[in-house]
Amino acid sequence: MTNNLDYQKAVEKLGQYGQEHVLKYYEELSKEQKEQLLAQISDIDLSVLASVKEKNGGAVKGKITPLAAMQLSEIRAKETEFRKLGLDAIRRGKVGAVLLAGGMGTRLGSEDPKGMYNIGVTKDVYIFQRLIENLLEVVKEAGVWIPLYVMTSDKNHQATTSFLREHDYFGYQSESITFFMQEMAPACDYQGKVYLEEKWKLSTSPNGNGGWYSSMYKWGIAQKAIADGVEWLNVFSVDNVLQRIADPCFVGAVLASGCVAGSKVVRKCAPDEKVGVMCLEDGKPSIVEYYELTEDLMNAKDANGDPAYYFGVILNYLFRVADLEKIREKNLPLHIVEKKIPYLDEEGKKIKPEAPNGYKFEQLVLDMIHELDSCLPFEVERNKEFAPIKNATGVDSVESARALCRENGIEL
């Protein structure tokens, strides 16, 4: 017998958010399906749906002023000192790496997790492989395994873990890899009504990359990392195949700066390039997204006469764990993103829409930066460290990433 109490609780919760329609097919479901649906309703955070009504282009920004980046010339002059500091921290087990691999990679258009994409030409070169090979270089130099935490989502956990296991973790020590899953958020139509993906399943989407630390905590992994002595976490995206991870020079520079975080940045290639740039917002570090960058900010100059907002973030951040703990329970801004959401129509038939038909809800890692007291923007050479794969062709694509890999002597 399905638990009546659970059913009542579900009705109450749905009523609170105006989502009773998701029980439309309840009576025709099997016992297991009923239980699955009720469990999902009980677990999921429906409060995000209220933000559809308030949707007005996101959070209002405070006063934006420049935040100077540590530039290549300074980094080169102090490289030996920085690398020594960074390697020492790594050798003492103070640095961990967090791979954000919970995204859906919809723009690339592959059904598989993005990391499984093969960019090789004459041999197999998977995205995951490229990242692990880069991290292995630091492991070899430091002579210690760096703990690697991998965030997946409900949609790709199984495929990701089996793929990496089958490939023997591309030479990484499996004991040093820990997987955890991020939370899911409901996906809804333009009126804020949740879609059904199956008669027994609400449509959901990964809740963005901003929840990585709280998910790590929910899984007990953050606590374990702290107990193991990890003091810094280098968070990075899955899609940059030239990503330098746990880069000793970056770690050392952040340690030397006294900042509680660092962000790798690249010099923009044009004032209107579509990357978020580092700045101060009401005196605290922040990132202004390209679509928020006004004409005035785009043309503003710093004290040296250089463009003031010219260093774009590449989703490679170093966070001090003690400060992540302070902001763990903070509610980050919610970003509402239009999306193609598969759903059941009025007759219960599955539809895969060709065009966006609703919203997904995301929190972003870049919003964590604004919660912190300080962050060092650390310049890296664009052509050596930034080859993102977002699209199948054109800008930030497999083709452009291949060309950059070749430029860096990586055989494909």
Binding segment for ligand UTP (CB under 6 A), chosen from 12-20, 36-44, 202-210, 343-351, is 202-210
Q: Give me the least distance between CB of 217 and ligand UTP, in Å please.
A: 16
Counting contacts by CB under 6 A, is residue 312 touching ligand UTP? no
Residues 289-308 that bind ligand UTP (CB under 6 A): none
Task: Assign 3-state DSSP to the chain and report helix, strand, coil percentages, each to 5.
Answer: 35, 20, 40
Contact between 285 and ligand UTP per CB under 6 A: no
Identity of the amino acid at 366? L
Closest distance to ligand UTP from the beta carbon of 101 (Å): 5
Q: Binding of ligand UTP at residue 151 (CB under 6 A)?
A: yes
Among 389, 410, 409, 408, residue whose Cα is nearest residue 400: 389
Q: Which is nearer to ligand UTP, 280 or 387 (CB)?
A: 387
Q: Which stretch binds ligand UTP (CB under 6 A): 100-108, 137-145, 245-253, 393-401?
A: 100-108
Does 186 interact with ligand UTP (rule: CB under 6 A)? no
**Residue 107 touches ligand UTP, criterion: CB under 6 A:** yes
User: Does residue number 215 form part of the binding site for ligand UTP (CB under 6 A)?
Assistant: no
Strands (E), 282-322: 284-288, 311-320
> In angstroms, what is the minimal distance from the CB of 68 to ligand UTP?
26
Angle subtended at Cα 321 by Cα 319 and Cα 324, rounded to the nearest 5 degrees? 80
Site string for ligand UTP, 363-392 (x = CB under 6 A): ---------------------------x--
State both tokens at 224.
């374990």
Q: Looking at beta carbons, which residue is closest to ligand UTP? A: 103
State in angstroms the smallest separation of the CB of 272 from ligand UTP.
20
Q: Tell whether residue 237 is a contact of ligand UTP (CB under 6 A).
A: yes
Under the binding rule (CB under 6 A), the answer on residue 105 touching ligand UTP is: yes
Strands 148-152 and 95-100: parallel
Q: Which is nearer to ligand UTP, 103 or 276 (CB)?
A: 103
182 near ligand UTP, rule: CB under 6 A: yes
112-115 LR contacts (CB < 8 Å, sep 24+):
112/156, 112/159, 112/163, 113/152, 113/156, 113/159, 113/160, 113/163, 113/238, 114/238, 114/239, 114/389, 115/160, 115/163, 115/238
CB of 149 to ligand UTP, least distance (A): 12
The answer to whether 100 contacts ligand UTP (rule: CB under 6 A) is yes
Task: For tokens 């497999």, name the residue.
Answer: 398
129 vs 108: CA distance, rounded Å: 18
Question: Applying CB under 6 A, which of residues 102, 276, 312, 358 lies at the interface with ligand UTP?
Answer: 102
Query: Two tokens at 278?
Result: 């580092």
Q: Does residue 187 touch ligand UTP according to CB under 6 A? A: no
> Closest approach of Cβ 82 to ligand UTP, in Å?
26
Query: Residue by residue, what is the 3-state secondary structure of 14-69?
Result: HHHCCCHHHHCCHHHCCHHHHHHHHHHHHHCCCHHHHHHCCCCCCCCCCCEECCCC
Pairing, β 201-202 against β 184-186? unpaired
Q: Give the one residue of 208, 285, 312, 358 binding ligand UTP; rule: CB under 6 A.
A: 208
Of 46-54, 87-95, 205-213, 289-297: span binding ligand UTP (CB under 6 A): 205-213
Tokens of 272: 């209107």
Contact residue for ligand UTP among 101, 287, 369, 401 (CB under 6 A): 101
CA distance readout (Å), 148 to 97, 142, 255: 5, 15, 20
Distance CA 348, CA 25 (A): 9
DSSP helix/strand/coil, 159: helix
Q: How many residues bind ligand UTP (CB under 6 A)?
A: 19
103 binds ligand UTP (CB under 6 A): yes
| 218 part of the interface to ligand UTP, by CB under 6 A | no
The rounded distance, in Å, linking the Cα atoms of 332 and 364 is: 8
Three-state DSSP class for residue 71: coil
**Residue from 235, 238, 254, 308 in contact with ligand UTP (CB under 6 A):** 238
Binding site for ligand UTP (CB under 6 A): 100-107, 151, 182, 206-209, 237-239, 315, 390
